[in-house]
């Protein structure tokens, strides 16, 4: 697998907030270049849904984004 290096600096903020009998996770991703926002939004949406499934005590299964095909 090839290596890559980002040409920008961004900041991830994770906040854990007590809520009812659990914890609310608030994730904020700052300082992304405009052309990277949509792909990161899709990525965070994908992985937060998987995290929610796990926190509900269910198995999210194999991550389809981690499966590679070789030709």
**Whether pLDDT at 33 is above 80:** yes
pLDDT tens-digit series, residues 38-56: 999 999 999 999 999 999 9
Asked if pLDDT for residue 60 goes beyond 80, the answer is: yes
- Asked if the model's pLDDT at residue 37 lies above 90, the reply is yes
Question: What pLDDT is recorded for position 12?
Answer: 95
- The residue with tokens 């965070």 is 44
Is the Cβ–Cβ distance between 11 and 31 less than 8 Å?
yes
Are 11 and 40 in contact by the 8 Å Cβ rule? The answer is no
Task: Please compute the mean of the pLDDT values over residues 28-34 and round it to a whole number.
Answer: 95
8-12, 33-37, 56-60, 66-70: which has the minimum mean pLDDT?
A: 66-70
Q: CB neighbours of 27 closer than 8 A, spacing ≥ 6?
A: 12, 13, 14, 15, 44, 48
Contact criterion met (CB below 8 Å) for 14 and 29: no
């Amino acid at each position: 697998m090839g290596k890559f290096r980002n040409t920008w600096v961004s900041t991830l903020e994770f906040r854990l907030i007590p809520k009812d009998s659990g914890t609310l996770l608030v994730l904020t991703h700052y300082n992304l270049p405009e052309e990277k926002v949509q792909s990161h939004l899709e990525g965070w949406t994908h992985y937060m849904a998987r995290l929610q499934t796990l926190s509900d005590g269910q198995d999210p299964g194999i991550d389809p984004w981690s499966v590679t095909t070789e030709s």
